[in-house]
Amino acid sequence: MTPSNQDGGPRSEAVKPVGLARTIFTYAVCILIAVVIAAGVRYFLIEPYRIPTGSMLPTIQLNDMVLANKLVYKVGGQPKRGDIVVFKDPTGEYPQLIKRVVATGGQTVDLQDGSVYVDGQKLDEAYTHGKPSAPLSGGQVSFPFKVPDGEIWVMGDNRTNSADSRVFGSVPVEAVYGRAWWTYWPLSHFGVLR
């Protein structure tokens, strides 16, 4: 039954206009919530990175923008062979580097005749497109190299032009920011990283 006024007709409720200050406050709160959510996603879940070098060619191009899953290693997972990881640059030349995990803690890496051996097994690395994996001049690493527990051995796919673990040694797992999994820019490179 519809409420009625004293004349017996339906009663209408007057809608009060919302003040300008309240509207501005509402928009400000919405924007603040959106910023907090975006910052939380970026800090805890997914972060974009620009690739500073050509060390991962042709898998990842110079200046490509990739997304890294930051949560994957925080919830108990560990980097494994084949993962493409973003980590703090041990040399300090760049804020971060991106390389492929070749070996993990406890494994032994050796370079022989242009190939990588892990625990005596020659790796099949199609992503290098036949580029040889040789020790780099100026590197302080001697082979065979046993990766300490809690660390990873990383190498760029562009083996003839990549300053990687052959130069700076293994990388502590705690220096890893996340696992790169998607290229989102430029659109011509859009897709899953392998």
Instruction: Determine the Cα–Cα distance for residues 108 and 90; give it in Å rounded to an integer.
Output: 21
| Surface-to-core class of residue 166, CB atoms within 10 Å of its CB (0-12 exposed, 13-18 middle, 19+ buried) | buried
The first and second tokens of residue 9, run together, are 């007709």
Instruction: Determine the Cα–Cα distance for residues 137 and 133; give it in Å rounded to an integer.
Output: 12
Residues 157/56, Cβ–Cβ less than 8 Å: yes
- Asked if 99 is an active-site residue, the reply is yes
CB count in 10 Å sphere of residue 80: 12
What is the DSSP code string of 78-143?
A: ---TT-EEEEE-TTSSSSEEEEEEEEETT-EEEEETTEEEETTEEP--GGGTT----PPTT----S
Of 70, 99, 162, 165, catalytic: 99
Of 55, 133, 162, 170, catalytic: 55
Residue 184, helix vs strand vs coil: strand
The first and second tokens of residue 59, run together, are 């898998």
- Asked if 55 is an active-site residue, the reply is yes
Q: Which residues are catalytic?
A: 55, 99
